[in-house]
Amino acid sequence: MEKEIASLEKYRTWEAIAPPENARFVNTKWVLRKKRDEHGNLVKFKARLTARGFTQIPGIDYDEPFAAVVRTDTLRILLAHAIQHDLHTVQYDIESAYLNAPLDDEIYIKPPTMVTVPGGKVLRLKKSIYGLKQAARCWGTTLATVLRKRGFQPSMADPALYINHGRSEFLGVHVDDLLFVAKEDNGFTSWLGTHFTVNNLGKPRHLLSIELTWTNTSVSLSQSTYLRRIIKKYLPSGAKPVVTPLSPSERPLQRDQPEPPTDLKEYQSAIGSLLYAAIITRPDILFGVCCLSQFLSDPSESHM
């Protein structure tokens, strides 16, 4: 937690002020997580101060929360273009991305655990923090402003794909993960480092839970670690392989009221996790996942 607090203070995320009358406060929470590599090995423990965004009120605490992220088919095209023309391909990670984004709205929080302020004062956020409804949009606007200085413009086909036509550079953006494709670096790494704290991860090997295996003439995508994690979470007793996940002639029955219901959130979470894999690397399970997604609002035990 000490490292996260130091990071928050480094980016001047807040200021201590006397609370105005009728000030609304957004609650915060410390989230503790484990960061793993592409093989599932533990890399480090992370502590992050997050806002409880569900307590924010639309029109009062925020206006527009939408922020574009690069489409998976755009990523495929970028990778195919890179391997076909033998281009320079690098993955970047922006440290504490949201803390770089100025916040226009008046957001107040009470001092979280381990943060001290003078008596009678609270914290007014000057920068976005994770969990705020508008945080992703603020970061996207900040990044777009910086990229325009180098000549990048968002693609009309995908607003999270930035193209610098003058230097033939492509940049796919997924929040704080960037995929850069060009003939050569052209000083992009050092230029980006002048604006943000950047981790250069080299040629992408693990991107958005996708494992990439490179050869001289191809790049293969897989999600074996991601799928093993899903199986461990939803099928702790293990899973048996089958040739066809769901036969085309086999249709899930409509919801039968006398049938016992299943946990709604767990079912929705499982379908969402499987749908992500089906769209990217496992089209063989797409039919079954789409059939079962018809019952997201009221699943039964048989659907689970």
The model's pTM is: 0.87
Q: What is the pLDDT of residue 11?
A: 85
Q: What is the largest CA-CA distance in the chain?
A: 69
The one-character DSSP state at 252 is P
Give pLDDT tens digits for 194-216.
999 999 999 999 999 999 999 98
Nearest to 294 by CA among 266, 271, 260: 271
CA 92 distance to own-chain centroid: 14
Q: For residues 32 and 137, is the Cβ–Cβ distance under 8 A? A: no
Mean pLDDT by 10 residues, the chain (304 residues): 83 89 90 76 82 91 92 94 95 94 91 85 93 94 96 96 96 96 95 96 93 93 92 85 76 67 92 94 90 89 84
The tokens describing 23, both together, are 């000030």
The tokens describing 133, both together, are 């409804």
